[in-house]
Amino acid sequence: MNTQPVRTTRVYVLSILGCFLVVAALVWSMYRYTQPAPLGEDRAAVRAKALAELRAAEAEALETPAWIDQGKGLVRLRIEDAMKLVERDWSRDAVAARSNLISRVEKATAVPPKAPEKPSAFE
């Protein structure tokens, strides 16, 4: 019996199997080393901090009175206080309260006059 073809076949099979294992190891290592860092690791903490700051600023703006524009006489009130003022004014005289509200809106949204144009150096 001739064992040479069997031995040769085994060598080929082992060589091909070894090549597949080497290629699999290279693919695994390339996959492992070429993966970028996760994008949201530190971003989640930054976003949570920003959200907490935003919520704190919103709560402060809703619950504490402050000047918005002292020159125009605009004041920020708490919602409950503003509702009480509106209810008090409108229950007394609705027509006067409406005209007062319109005048306050016009005063708050008034656009300042345009600054005078600078004269040309050639005039």
Q: Are residues 66 and 26 in the same domain?
A: no
Give the model confidence (pLDDT) of 18-34 as tens digits: 999 999 999 999 998 88
Structural domain contains residue 81: yes
Instruction: Establish how many alpha carbons lie within 13 A of residue 107's alpha carbon, considering only the half-sphere containing its beta carbon.
Output: 13
Structural domain contains residue 48: no
Domains: count for the chain? 2
Q: Where are the beta strands (DSSP E) in the chain?
A: 66-69, 74-76
Burial class (CB in 10 A: 0-12, 13-18, 19+), 77: middle
Query: Using N-to-C axis directions, what is the helix angle for 79-92 and 94-108, rounded to 10°?
Result: 130
Structural domain contains residue 24: yes
Query: Quick check: helix, strand or coil at residue 36?
Result: coil
CA distance linking residue 28 with residue 25, whole number of Å:
5
Domain span holding position 17: 1-35
Give the model confidence (pLDDT) of 91-117 as tens digits: 999 999 999 889 988 888 888 888 888
Structural domain contains residue 20: yes
Give the model confidence (pLDDT) of 53-71 as tens digits: 999 999 998 889 998 888 8
CA distance linking residue 119 with residue 67, whole number of Å:
37
Q: Are residues 30 and 70 in the same domain?
A: no
Give the model confidence (pLDDT) of 1-22 as tens digits: 566 788 888 999 999 999 999 9
